[in-house]
Amino acid sequence: MTSAVHLDGITKRFPGVVANDDVDLTVERGTVHALLGENGAGKTTLMNVLYGLYEPTAGQIVVDGTERSFDAPQDAIDAGIGMIHQHFMLVDPMTVAENVTLGTEPRKWGGLAIDRDQAHRDVERLCDRFGLDVDPGAPVAELSVGVQQRTEILKALYRGTEILILDEPTAVLTPQEVEELLSVFEMLTDQEKTIIFITHKLGEAMRAADEITVLRDGQTVGTVDAGEITREELAEMMVGREVLLEIESSPADPGSVVLSVDDLTVADDRGVDAVSDVSFSVRGGEVFGIAGVDGNGQSELIEAITGLRRPHGAIELDDREITDNSRRDRIEHGMAYIPEDRHERGVVMEFDLVENGLLGSQHAEPFAGNGRIDWARAREHTEAIIEEYDVQPPNPDAEAASLSGGNQQKFIVGREFAREPNLVVATHPTRGVDIGSTEFIHEQLLELRNAGVAVLLVSSKLEEVRGLSDRLAVMYEGEFVDTVDPETVTEEELGLLMAGERPAQGDEHR
Amino acid sequence: MSGAPKRVKEGVRTVLERLVRASAFERILISAAALVLAVLVGTVLVLVSGRMTTCSTAAATYFGVGFCYDPVTVFDRLFFGALGDPMNPLFRPLEGEFAPPFRAGWSPFNTAMGVTLRETTVLVFTGLSVALAFRAGVFNIGTQGQLIAGGLASALGLLSLAPVVPGGLVGSLVLVPAGLFIGALVGGLYGAVPGVLKAYADANEVITTIMLNFVAAQIALYLVSNYFKRPNSQVVETVPLPDAATIPPVVFDPRTNVSLIALAVALGFAGAIYYLLGHTALGYDLRTSGLQPAGAEYGGVATKRTIVASLTLSGALGGLGGAMYVMMILGNFQIGVPAYGFDGITVAILAGNNPLGVVFAAPLFGIIKSGSIVIDTTTSVPPQLVDVLRGLIVLFVAMPEFFRQIGHRVLPEESQTPGGDGDA
């Protein structure tokens, strides 16, 4: 039997970077194949090559035993390959059926009009065939993220996709939605469809996939049978050395209140309240975690606390009201902040690391007394961060843009922790960071906590918020649904809270 | 999807990427090659228009065909004329003639050179003005207006100060710095207007600065023709400034209206702006805002105040240029100020918005301005054709740098994380 996909010696070079270096990948028909690797390992690039978005510098693409060369995604679609990107490409006001058939609508009246009924029936039939629970008549804007994702899958199936590629499909889902997605995978493979999904989560790859191919630094490390490997072995393949997967935290010893947030209401960019009446406080020596599916107001809440967005309500840092104070005032009073979006905020991409090491301290002693910048001192500071946080390449003159995402993140974490803060606001502190550095960042965060620093942590990684937090709030649609003890809460309970189920209101969910 | 449009897009990308990665040395080479190319295209234009004109005697004969204008003469006047003909005609290294390279009797302090340096002085200020704003991410098209405002204020201020200040050297030591200060102050305030409008009312600075250019010109016309007009003058101008209020020439003939002191001040400012951008907290804030506004906000930069500061500083530099123009070149204020502000935009582009680059870009424009005067006075080539040649050179020389800057803005988002599994 020929394989559904066979990539042979794919190399993709970008100016100055080799994203894929002689990568081989074989995916059998009717199986789920996970493409596992750290950020920057070249997973998405490889799939973009298969989907015709990039032309490979070298190598062969064989689909169903036929060698192919794709100039554009349309060629790949014609060959039965479909790809679902992280950001869905759906038209919100249109219904599921309209979205699914968009561009290839069934026609009536000699092609003059769209046959909506036929489209509706087609999509319904497709749903039945693959056991997908989607209402073809519902407008996309009203659907949950999980159902939107299924709509994307339907779209691909409608176009005759045999091989479905999904880029980090679980990043935006609640645990329950992940379960549902995995059962969709099963249904699809039962009907001889082939699935390739990109992930950097070990557990997910092991549960969902039949086979796992691990990429590291643009090269294939190997392909393994998901049933015959342990998490530790897989982690070692990804990182290239042995790693500690569990977070070891000691009991907290909270001191006085450092951050206090009272009745905070924050509007998003469109002027709609994204956070409504949230109150909480964080003590020195404790980690206060906020869990939730991305987009439930966490970003707006954090931006209000860190001074990037104007809220209603009150924020106090060390018993001093700072609600309307400037960002600079907050930095100078001991607030360190690891931002969510490192490309936009955390580093200035065209600055070198010395300049980036100064970001936030450009007016402060010891770097810039009386307005003049002491570059020699700034350089020493940056070299210290690079050394301590193992930033690669260890070159203070490298532009931030030339570093991989994980190394940019390590640099940001290093810079922020070096402020000797009273409060650390950390949003997704280990997003895109390799397992080894994640371990190190976690240790540093706990060390700061043990030294009496207050830590406010937001992360979409459940293991991370559960492992690090001493108290854990769950955010849904701009409110705290509940604050729980991360030691005792189960993953299932958390998932329900994240989906907006109030505690003690039964366990039915939408 | 596929085929020609895609290939064109790829091609454009490749060229932009190459430009973005060009080293400083490569960029200078590219600019030099562009200059040569502009001269070649200009040569064709001169020949063609020389063929289409009627004249009694041909200025040049090539391949047995007579042409009314000789491109060799035109470009010789444009470049070497602007320097006062430094080359010795007997110096022909290609033919093995190594006579002294400089013409006997050539002095670097000749009239044409004076005009070149005079124009260069003002262009350094306007170039710095535009470059500084660009670096802070603000497109100041209003340097012209700020220059007019600064120049007018400096002239009016000096005229009212002069009666209470003694003449001679003491007077100069008071009046010249005072004139420059007034020019910078009023130019800065005039630049602050679009700054405040952008920062606090979200008004696009390109639009407001362009409009304020007209406002400045009209206010100057109104004030001078109604209140400060020199009696019995044919043009709209103020009475002359006292000698003590003009910048004294050093070695040049006073009639060329050029002062090496002014040039030295201009170069000093280029160094100062370079230091400001690279070595001060304010400069860091400005550059961060220019490169990545969201990053600047995160880093505690007061973004609104930084916008106002950058346009104020930029306007002050424009105003200084105006004060120099009034105190060094005119000796009073006249309506009809040459387009120094707009030339400053091209100077800044060619300089890659680097203050030190401005020091090298401004003389090129000074030479072209001075050289076209020489062509006008020594050949029969019409001034319109000279304008076309000037435009060609500006276009050719500035474009590679212009596209490099565009590439810088466009490309990083598309290609910075090729392996991007994240949200790239």
Sheet strands side by side (includes A479-484): A335-338, A423-427, A454-458, A287-291, A471-476, A479-484
Give A452-483 pLDDT, tens digit per residue. Answer: 999 999 987 788 888 899 999 999 889 999 99
Beta partners for residue A246, in sequence order: none
Separation in Å, CA of A170 to nearest CA in chain B: 13
Sheet strands side by side (includes A211-216): A81-84, A163-167, A194-199, A32-36, A211-216, A219-225
Q: Are the folds of A5-239 and A255-326+423-429+449-503 the same?
A: yes
Q: Are B260 and B247 spatial neighbours (Cβ–Cβ below 8 Å)?
A: no
Give the residue on B whose Cα is nearest the Cα of A365. B281
B419 to A362: CB separation less than 8 angstroms, yes or no: no
Map tokens 């020929």 to a residue: A2
Candidate CATH numbers 3.40.50.970, 3.40.50.1970, 3.40.50.300, 3.30.930.10; the one for domain A5-239? 3.40.50.300
Predicted confidence band of residue A371 (pLDDT cuts 50, 70, 90) = confident
**Architecture of the structural domain at A255-326+423-429+449-503:** 3-Layer(aba) Sandwich (3.40)
- pLDDT over 70 (residue A254): yes
What Å distances lie between residue B145 and B125, B139, B153, B219, CA to CA?
14, 14, 12, 10
Q: Tell me the two tokens of residue B123.
A: 């262009």
Give A21-67 pLDDT, tens digit per residue. Answer: 899 999 999 999 999 887 667 888 899 999 988 889 899 999 988 88
The DSSP secondary-structure symbol of A221 reads E
State the Cα–Cα distance between residues A452 and A469, nearest whole angstrom: 14
Of the candidates A429, A143, A146, A448, the one whose C-alpha atom is nearest the C-alpha of residue A290 is A429
- Pairwise pLDDT comparison (A204 vs A396), residue with the higher score: A396
Whether cis (ω within 30° of 0) applies to the bond prior to A366 is: yes
State the Cα–Cα distance between residues B387 and B372, nearest whole angstrom: 8
Report pLDDT for B421.
35
Separation in Å, CA of A223 to nearest CA in chain B: 20
State the Cα–Cα distance between residues A378 and A382, nearest whole angstrom: 6
Residue A19 corresponds to which amino acid? A
Q: Give the pTM.
A: 0.75
A39 to B419: CB separation less than 8 angstroms, yes or no: yes
Report pLDDT for A242.
65
Task: Report A:64-93 residues touching B (Cβ under 8 A).
Answer: 71-75, 86-87
Phi-psi region of B240 (alpha: psi -120 to 50; beta: other; left: phi over 0): beta
User: A13, A238, A345, A427: which to substitute to probe chain B, counting the most B Cβ within 10 Å?
Assistant: A345
Q: How far is CA B157 from the centre of its chain?
A: 26
Task: Give the relative orientation of helices B71-79 and B383-415 as an angle to the nearest 10 degrees.
Answer: 70
Q: Are B343 and B123 spatial neighbours (Cβ–Cβ below 8 Å)?
A: yes
A44 to B420: CB separation less than 8 angstroms, yes or no: yes
Report pLDDT for B222.
96
Q: Is B87 helix (H, G, I), strand (E, B) or coil?
A: strand
Q: Is the Cβ of B416 closer than 8 Å to some Cβ of chain A? A: yes
Provide the residue count of chain A: 510
Q: What are phi and psi of A417, to 5 degrees?
A: -70, -25
Q: Are A313 and A261 spatial neighbours (Cβ–Cβ below 8 Å)?
A: yes
Least confident of A208-212, A488-492, B103-107: B103-107
Domain ranges in chain A are 5-239, 255-326+423-429+449-503, 342-420
User: Residue A445 belongs to what H/E stretch?
Assistant: helix A435-450
Residues of A in contact with B420 (CB under 8 A): 39-40, 44, 405
Task: Report B:287-346 residues touching A (Cβ under 8 A).
Answer: 288, 291-292, 294-302
- Picking from B283, B408, B421, the nearest residue to A200 by CB comes out as B421
Domain ranges in chain B are 15-106+380-415, 116-362
Report pLDDT for A307.
94
Give the residue on A whose Cα is nearest the Cα of B420. A40
Average pLDDT over residues A237-250: 71
State the Cα–Cα distance between residues A178 and A1, nearest whole angstrom: 31
Give the residue on B whose Cα is nearest the Cα of A352. B288
The DSSP secondary-structure symbol of B230 reads P
Residues of B in contact with A19 (CB under 8 A): 418-419
State the Cα–Cα distance between residues B294 and B311, nearest whole angstrom: 19
Q: Are B424 and B416 spatial neighbours (Cβ–Cβ below 8 Å)?
A: yes
State the Cα–Cα distance between residues A147 and A508, nearest whole angstrom: 17
User: A200, A348, A402: which to substitute to probe chain B, counting the most B Cβ within 10 Å?
Assistant: A348
Q: Are B82 and B367 spatial neighbours (Cβ–Cβ below 8 Å)?
A: yes
State the Cα–Cα distance between residues B175 and B324, nearest whole angstrom: 13
Residue B159 corresponds to which amino acid? L
Least confident of A6-10, A117-121, A239-243: A239-243
Q: pLDDT per position in chain B (424 positions), as tens?
A: 445 666 777 778 778 878 877 777 888 888 889 989 999 999 999 988 888 887 877 777 887 788 888 888 888 888 888 888 887 777 777 777 777 777 777 788 888 888 999 999 999 999 999 999 999 999 999 999 999 999 999 999 999 998 888 878 888 899 999 999 999 999 999 999 999 999 999 999 999 999 999 999 999 999 999 999 998 888 899 999 998 888 888 778 777 888 899 999 999 999 999 999 999 999 999 999 999 999 999 999 999 999 999 999 999 999 999 999 999 999 999 999 999 999 999 899 888 899 999 999 999 989 998 998 888 888 888 888 988 998 898 888 888 888 887 777 666 544 433 333 333 2
Question: What is the ipTM score, two decimals?
Answer: 0.81
- Pairwise pLDDT comparison (A192 vs B60), residue with the higher score: A192
Q: Is the Cβ of A358 closer than 8 Å to some Cβ of chain B? A: yes
Task: Give the relative orientation of helices B168-201 and B205-226 as an angle to the nearest 10 degrees.
Answer: 140
**Which CATH code for domain B116-362?**
1.10.3470
Report pLDDT for B61.
80
Q: Are A300 and A266 spatial neighbours (Cβ–Cβ below 8 Å)?
A: yes
Give A332-344 pLDDT, tens digit per residue. Answer: 999 999 998 888 8
Q: What residues have CB less than 8 Å from B377, skipping those under 6 apart?
A: none
Give the residue on A whose Cα is nearest the Cα of B288. A348
Q: What is the largest CA-CA distance in chain B?
A: 78
B301 to A355: CB separation less than 8 angstroms, yes or no: no
A405 to B420: CB separation less than 8 angstroms, yes or no: yes
Q: Are B264 and B121 spatial neighbours (Cβ–Cβ below 8 Å)?
A: no
Q: Tell me the two tokens of residue A157.
A: 């199936």
Which segments of A250-360 does DSSP mark as H helices, in order? 298-306, 327-332, 353-357
